[in-house]
Amino acid sequence: MQTQLWTEKYRPVALAEILAQQSVIEIVKRFAEHGSLPHLLFHGPPGTGKTSTILALANQLFGANFASMVLELNASDARGIDVVRDEIQSFSSTARPDRGQFKLVIMDESDSMTKDAQFALRRVMEKYTRHTRFCLIGNYASKIIPAIQSRCTKFRFSPLSQALVRERLRHIVARESISATESSLEAVQRLGGGDMRKTLNILQSSSLASKGCITDDVVYSTTGHVHREDIKSLVSCLLNQPVDRVFESLQKIKHNRNFALVDVVNLLQDCVFSLHLTPAVRAGLILGLADLEYSLSFAGTEKIQTLTLISVFAVARDMSST
């Protein structure tokens, strides 16, 4: 029985195990070799190795003393000024257990901290910088106040490459002794979008839902995403069938495949770029789909928005024929 989350089971525990973000890892390794560390700001999309990198670095620096030398906080749970004044300041102000060694405060999702909390944190960083280092982790560096950014060495983590994600998926499939088709791994990789945490969660969920072999149908049904073949059928219907019959055909596809209009708008936008269209027609489709997505965010009725979708593609068809 699979009882452990694969995101934790396969999380790198040493810097040498981290294969992505090599330019960042090389610099971080030099920090570890010198046994010194500036304040750090790791930013970039989720699931790209930010937390794994600082935890691996902390393990290498502190070893058995990790628990007493490292304070881990999730700023989305404790993001107010009180946690800075109480927990962080109390930890940072205590004397170093070992002469010459600093403590480390890791603040995950720090971009969700309130401005007041960030200003208080800036003061703590400044006051205790002699024996405490801070690593702030977030998706958006722009949400961190300039006063903190100027005190940190910033590293941007980019989405993981397709080749790296596919290699990791094959490795885990082999380690877990499960069967998976190449098309299913491609689907897992695409739905993961360069986020390794999300990718592994999809793979594990699909493994639990499969009957001996993971297929792309299992992946799409487990995650609730619309299959690419369904999107192709939908586009073919919108572009080729007579307008007065399109609505009925769309309703039948939606009923048979059990998806809502909001589920397919983004996928349709991606599909538009694979069609052989003039720039003007493609631009018109993208603008129309963008307006449709905006309307759906305000809970527009499904029928009216479906008719809007048909109208967007009907205009594109007229433009293509002229």
Q: What is the 3-state secondary structure (H, E, C) of the chain?
A: CCCCCHHHHCCCCCHHHCCCCHHHHHHHHHHHHHCCCCCEEEECCCCCCHHHHHHHHHHHHHHHHHHHHEEEEECCCCCCHHHHHHHHHHHHHCCCCCCCCCEEEEEECHHHCCHHHHHHHHHHHHHCCCCEEEEEEECCHHHCCHHHHCCCEEEECCCCCHHHHHHHHHHHHHHCCCEECHHHHHHHHHHHCCCHHHHHHHHHHHHHHCCCEECHHHHHHHHCCCCHHHHHHHHHHHHHCCHHHHHHHHHHHHHHHCCCHHHHHHHHHHHHCCCCCCHHHHHHHHHHHHHHHHHHCCCCCHHHHHHHHHHHHHHHHHHHHC
Judgement on whether residues 16 and 143 belong to the same structural domain of the protein: yes
Judgement on whether residues 39 and 74 belong to the same structural domain of the protein: yes
Judgement on whether residues 20 and 152 belong to the same structural domain of the protein: yes
Is 204 a member of any domain?
Answer: yes
Q: List per-residue pLDDT tens for the chain, 322 residues long.
A: 456 899 999 998 889 888 888 999 999 999 988 888 899 999 999 999 999 999 999 999 888 888 889 998 886 665 567 777 778 888 888 765 555 578 999 999 898 888 888 998 899 899 888 889 999 999 999 999 999 999 999 999 998 988 899 999 999 999 999 999 999 999 899 888 889 999 999 999 999 988 778 998 899 888 877 787 778 778 888 888 777 788 887 777 777 767 777 777 777 877 777 777 788 888 888 888 888 888 887 766 778 888 888 888 888 887 776 6
Judgement on whether residues 185 and 119 belong to the same structural domain of the protein: no
- Do 120 and 89 form a contact (C-beta atoms < 8 A)? no
pTM: 0.78
Tell me which of 130, 156, 182 is where a domain ends.
Answer: 156
Total structural domains in the chain?
3
- Do 124 and 92 form a contact (C-beta atoms < 8 A)? yes
Q: Give 233's contacts (C-beta < 8 A, 6+ positions apart).
A: 253
Judgement on whether residues 181 and 244 belong to the same structural domain of the protein: no
Judgement on whether residues 144 and 72 belong to the same structural domain of the protein: yes
Residue 36 is part of a domain; what is its CATH number? 3.40.50.300
Is 309 a member of any domain?
Answer: yes
Tell me which of 156, 174, 195 is where a domain ends.
Answer: 156
Is 185 a member of any domain?
Answer: yes
Judgement on whether residues 192 and 123 belong to the same structural domain of the protein: no
* Cβ atoms within 10 Å, residue 131: 14
Tell me which of 205, 223, 241 is where a domain ends.
Answer: 223
Domain ranges, residue 211: 162-223
Is 50 a member of any domain?
Answer: yes
The residue behind tokens 């594990």 is 204
Judgement on whether residues 51 and 92 belong to the same structural domain of the protein: yes
Judgement on whether residues 15 and 102 belong to the same structural domain of the protein: yes
Is 215 a member of any domain?
Answer: yes
Is 33 a member of any domain?
Answer: yes
Judgement on whether residues 16 and 115 belong to the same structural domain of the protein: yes
Q: Which of 266, 39, 70 is nearest to 152 (CA)?
A: 39
Judgement on whether residues 134 and 27 belong to the same structural domain of the protein: yes
Judgement on whether residues 26 and 117 belong to the same structural domain of the protein: yes
Is 56 a member of any domain?
Answer: yes
Is 1 a member of any domain?
Answer: no
Digit-coded pLDDT (tens) for 215-271: 988 998 888 777 877 787 788 888 887 777 888 877 777 777 677 777 777 778 777
